[in-house]
Amino acid sequence: MRLTCPHCHQSVGVPDAAAGQPTPCPLCGQTFTAPALVGSAIDSNPHPVAPAALPAMPSVRGPGTDSPRPPAPEPTRSVPAPAASAACCRLTFRKSIVPWLAPAALALVFVLTFFPWVGSYPNGTPVYTQSAWNAATGNFWVNPLGDSIDTIRHREDALLKQKSGSVLMMLYLLLLIIAVLLAIAERLVPWLGGTIPDVFRPAWPHRQVILAGLCAALFVLLAGVMTFGFGLEREASAAAEEANPPVQTVDSVKGPARQSEERIRLLRRDLELGSYALDRTFWLHLVVAAHVIALLGAAAALWIDRNPGRPDPRLELYC
């Protein structure tokens, strides 16, 4: 700060640290007391402040010290944490309900085996239908009204000529009966307080594993039957193939002409097969859904049986 020496009456500069303390004059050497920095003296000399946007702030001198003061750190801005995604769908499998899923689903499947799984329904009227039991033996149901229609009678005769059973469907029905009996017994025997016959006693502690294996085997067998075709579908395909056998051509006919005849034959065969208008019914789709529920229920019941102290299994979908 600049002052006037009271002895030599010259304008001199003294450090800010000497404010309010005795200090010698730089010119005449006489000691005098420098006035304190108060009021307007402080306001008239504001300390420079570096802009906040600059990456490096210059050091400034604080009042009452000669050493530079480090710049104040920039205030940190808190970044809000990303909101956790909430479960848009949550399904909890209660331990008191899970053991009943497989028995109920398997019992429903057994009842649906008596319903048509595949059939022909032109204009909503059933003409040919086939249930699981019919597919195992190769039989099918024909609408009695079709006796008065020559086309239906002709196709019925063609289907009967190709009649054949299904080993996969027989095995499927046999395992289904065993699975239904085991699932119902597993629930009712402990509830009714019954006793297990000696012949089944060694396998009874493993009933959950056996039931889960049966549910998986049934699902695989049904998928195989749906892949290779039901009895009525295979019979209709064989009848269409018989009605349009491969064309017997002489050896001299080769190349594009022979390929053209084969394409025409395949087209006629496909048109003949499409005329049966076979379709898989709603009951079959319901059977597939019931098998999925039975498999999941048996797996969940097995997990609960192996982990008795765990909480209820839960399925969550996050959006």
Same domain, 137 and 10: no
Same domain, 193 and 313: yes
One DSSP character per residue, 24-86 reads E-TTT--EEEPPP--THHHHTSPPP---TTSSSPPPEEPTT-SSEEPPPPPPPPPPPPPPPPP
Same domain, 8 and 142: no
Nearest one of 124, 157, 164, 123 to 142, comparing CA atoms: 157
Same domain, 168 and 282: yes
Same domain, 139 and 284: yes
Same domain, 28 and 122: no
> Given this model, what pLDDT does residue 213 score?
94
Nearest one of 79, 76, 45 to 62, comparing CA atoms: 45
> Given this model, what pLDDT does residue 86 score?
60
The answer as to whether 256 is a domain residue is no
How many domains does the chain divide into?
2
The answer as to whether 141 is a domain residue is yes
Same domain, 122 and 193: yes
> Given this model, what pLDDT does residue 202 score?
85
Sheet holding 141-142, edge to edge: 141-142, 128-131, 116-120, 278-280
Q: What is the pLDDT of residues 109-137, one digit of tens each?
A: 999 999 999 998 888 888 889 999 999 98
Same domain, 28 and 170: no
The answer as to whether 9 is a domain residue is yes
Same domain, 173 and 308: yes
| CA triple 299-300-301, angle to 5 deg | 90
Nearest one of 102, 95, 93, 100 to 294, comparing CA atoms: 102
The answer as to whether 168 is a domain residue is yes
> Given this model, what pLDDT does residue 262 score?
80
Domain that holds residue 314: 93-146+164-229+278-318
> Given this model, what pLDDT does residue 38 score?
59
> Given this model, what pLDDT does residue 40 score?
45
Same domain, 98 and 182: yes
Residue with tokens 């396998």: 203
The answer as to whether 263 is a domain residue is no
CB 71 within 8 A of CB 51: no
The answer as to whether 312 is a domain residue is yes
- Backbone phi and psi for residue 297, each to the nearest 5 degrees, phi listed first: -65, -40
Nearest one of 62, 8, 60 to 31, comparing CA atoms: 8
Q: What is the pLDDT of residues 9-38, one digit of tens each?
A: 777 787 777 777 788 887 777 787 777 765
The answer as to whether 128 is a domain residue is yes
Tokens of 287: 């059977």
Those residues of the chain that have pLDDT short of 50 are 40-44, 46, 49, 60, 62, 64
- Alpha-carbon distance values, 304 to 229, 290, 313 (Å): 37, 21, 8
Alpha-carbon distance of 130 to 118, in angstroms, equals 6
> Given this model, what pLDDT does residue 113 score?
96
Same domain, 126 and 18: no
The answer as to whether 261 is a domain residue is no
Same domain, 26 and 135: no
